[in-house]
Amino acid sequence: MQEKIALTGNEAMALAMKQINPDVVAAYPITPATEIVQIFSDYVSNGLVKTEFVTVESEHSAMSATLGASASGVRAMTATSSQGLAFMWEVLYIAASYQLPIVMPVVNRALSGPINIHGDHSDTMGARDSGWLQIYSENTQEAYDNLIQAVRIAEHPDVLLPTMVMMDGFIISHAMENLEILSDQDVQKFVGEFKHHRPALLDLDNPITVGPLALYDYYMEFKRQQAEAMRTCKPVILQVAQEYAELTGRKYGLYEGYKLDDADLAIVVLSSTAGTAKVVVDELREQGVKAGLLKLRVFRPFPYEELAQALSGRKAIAVLDRADGFSAFGGALFNEIRSAMYDVKDRPLIVDYIFGLGGRDVNLDHIRKVYADLAEIAKTGQAAQLVSYLGVRE
């Protein structure tokens, strides 16, 4: 049973956490994710969840406490953003190496400096190789749905990897939208009881060591196992999505194609900007331009085979990166899309646009310019430059 309701992104994430009803939440609030743990703490104080809520002195401690709780054999969650995620950096890698199924909402916000509290993807792009699954959300509905699915994905015995669920700071986190929510009972039935698929710290019958020293004689084997878990989790993501679709009628995949099948010109983008791009795609289609969009939902694991198939046959592709890679060769999404397309026969020309840093607005005219550039690239067979900055005062 579903109910239609209006919520902000933060409210929807907090509600999903309430319905998941984790055993432990350790948190240190940070803008613009503060409301998630603030609202959830109200659920705790009002006795609406069984959760042990741990208030700590920093984000590093929040992830450390969450890691300890998960290692002890319970369902554990936290939430953060930007500098908070950066302060967790050390422990992010440890949680992934221990293959602990922690689930964490992340509200995307620019990393300092200069100090900025608005949304871009520099925080989670910086953590892209930490070993966490990464799922991005276009709107409040997706943020809510993705968080519920993330629990099942992370806790699957073939995965057992921590998972971040993202939404854009302020654009989604503080904007109120209509969405459909499930009942508490349906969410509880969907996520199920927590099962620790490995011996836990508090399992006295199966004592284990956590945090051992592993030098060159064993370290590589640990990393290989971790990599294998990431490699094999795509079928789990799709199976969970299928079961969620049967429950809600909302179907998710590794990506979403919008009018992509016959498109000559395509944009690849993450998160809320996809909604803006869809408006321009509709405009161009009415004008007879074969424009399309690929919105990537799952960035880790990176679905390179599926993306290569979906994007092959286009004449020109623009990747939109809401974070600069500072490699002097574009952003992370651009580089990975180009890599995925390397073996495609007659691969299309691919260019990158860095946009929206520090929360700078991206509007319809910006997207129209990108498609106009793509049309010129498709016509001439060459790009004036591979990497551009969209909406910046040069």
Which pair of structure tokens corresponds to residue 279? Answer: 């408006």
The domains of the chain, with CATH numbers, are 2-248 (3.40.50.970), 255-390 (3.40.50.920)
The number of C-alpha atoms within 13 Å of 141 and in the hemisphere containing its C-beta is 14
Cβ-contact 166, 323 below 8 angstroms = no
Helix, strand or coil for residue 222?
helix
Q: How far apart are CA 227 and CA 97, in angstroms?
A: 10
Give the pLDDT of residue 198.
82
Q: How far does Cα 65 stand from its chain's mean position?
A: 22
pLDDT per residue as tens, the chain (394 positions): 899 999 999 999 999 999 999 999 999 999 999 999 999 999 999 999 999 999 999 999 999 999 999 999 999 999 999 999 999 999 999 999 999 999 999 999 999 999 999 999 999 999 999 999 999 999 999 999 999 999 999 999 999 999 999 999 999 999 999 999 999 999 999 999 998 888 888 888 888 888 889 999 999 999 999 999 999 999 999 999 999 999 999 999 999 999 999 999 999 999 999 999 999 999 999 999 999 999 999 999 999 999 999 999 999 999 999 999 999 999 999 999 999 999 999 999 999 999 999 999 999 999 999 999 999 999 999 999 999 999 999 8
- How far CA 302 is from CA of 234, 267, 333, in Å, comes to 9, 17, 10
The token duo for 66 is 């969450």
